A and B are shown apart, each in its own frame.
Chain A
Amino acid sequence: MLPFWKNLSVIRKLVQLLSFVFLVYGSAIVGFYASDKLSNAFPALACAYDAKTADYCVLIPLQHQFGHSIGPAINAGMFTLSLLMPLLTTMLTFVLLFVVLNKAFCGWTCPLGFFQEVVGMIGQKLRIHRVESLDEATVKRIRPVKWAMLFVLVLLMPLASGLGFLGHDFGDPFCKICPSRILTSLAAGQLNQLHVDTSSVGYMFLSVTADTLFGLILVLSLSMRQPFCRICPMLAMHAVFRKIGLVRLVKHYTSRCDKCGLCAKSCPMDIREIHTSQQKDILFPDCTLCGRCVEFCPDKGVMELKYASIPILVADPQYFKGRNKAQKEWEGGKSSGRKPAGA
């Protein structure tokens, strides 16, 4: 049996729990006002609408800079390059932080990602029948949505709002529909983000979308893995910069890989390419660097999770056996053989 301190998934859950506490209640640690200054560009969904948070998600300053600064300046014919400085500062801060953990910000620190995993674990314990993997056609249909969310909700709509083409309602449309806003504010004891806003058609549309999405994610998380992560604009932003991050996912392809495919089955984001790829770099756009593919790779040294050149976890048959046994125990002996189970 694999001891829990050697089980990457258990370690990851502990890190996620600590991150959740820090990002939702962290102002008690860093000071009430520090969250406004800490980075203002955290590469995960740490919500500014949570009154006790320790840092802010990068998506809110991005939307505000497009909607409240750049758009109105262009509209007034007063645009100067200096207006891009806050935007560049935000992006530079984001990139600096992103280099440290790469896409692991999704799989290791995001409060909403953690919440979905916890709900999934509850679903497992309640023995709710799980949809372990989405079919390939569905995955292909879903994948472009995160890019649309990034370009339309985070960039275009705020800019159009600043230019006067859309109302003020659409100044930060992604935040208005983000389930993390409702989740983290509820976790901080606030009910004020759980509402339907009837003040305009735009606000009503956005608040109804937000609440519907939250209810949907809550239920879907019980029976499928990471439903919101698949369409999250943060995943798309991470994908743009994934080549510069220090955490890497590496594959040393062997012909045995063709007959196996456990890595793809274990992937909560249904990235089947990690099985078929013969490339060394298998950090695909949808990866959240959870490391499950490495955990469930039964062939020694075939897959590696690395920090720069330092291996964090290398595929190992002994680890695989222990990990699979631990998973079976968690799921009450449901899974068998070489088939990796859910979360």
Chain B
Amino acid sequence: MNSPGFYTIFWREMLSIRKKFWKFLAGSLVMPSLYLVTFGWGLGRGINVHGLDYLVFVLPGIIALSAMNNSFSGVAVTLNISKLYYRTIEEILVSPVSHWSIALGRVLSGCFKGLFSALLLILISLMLHIQIRYNAAFFGILFLTCFIFASLGVLAAMLAKSHEDMTNFTNFVILPMSFLSGTFFPPERLPEPFATLIMVYPLTHAAVSLRSLVAGNGVPFISLLVILFYGVVLFILGGKAIKRLEL
């Protein structure tokens, strides 16, 4: 049986990872490990948040952050370079693969990269005896988080007209989200109106959901709705942006 188009796009990305596996592994590990050490041990030692040791509190946020960064950059950077520099995307655009398949293949590859990074971090935390409960719902939310930011990566790459545009997008959208979305501190600690504004960010709801799950509670309904909404809308926008692309 012939593979569907999206699988071929996904396969191509996996081939690239296989060829550069050790670089990929190292790259996936560096930033989350630094966050863990810096914020978990360096700054957070001896601090309690919501009755929890800060390291236990911050870990779900860092996992969400790592998933976001790796799924976004894993798609946005490679797609942007493919579009603007190597022009390899043209080869895919003239082949009989629909723009939805192209989007889905790229998003799934971004999900793989985000999940891989998150799983590495979980493995490290387990080896360091950081006690956190994981369940199927946790990984479901994690996958949806990766899906959101991989879709955002597709959209950003399609809209960026230069590498500078990509850098600016990262600086103005991804970076503020990284620090202000309840990743390192509870969202309610921010003064109004910022505490309300950051609830617009999908990463806020991802961090809140993951934190709620490890505490033995369910996913807050509003957060689930927001995550699903962003996932669907950003994927559709990314697919449409591919369809409209003219190089």
Query: Do the two shown chains form a genuine complex with each other?
Result: no
Residues of A bordering B, CB below 8 Å: none
Residues of B bordering A, CB below 8 Å: none
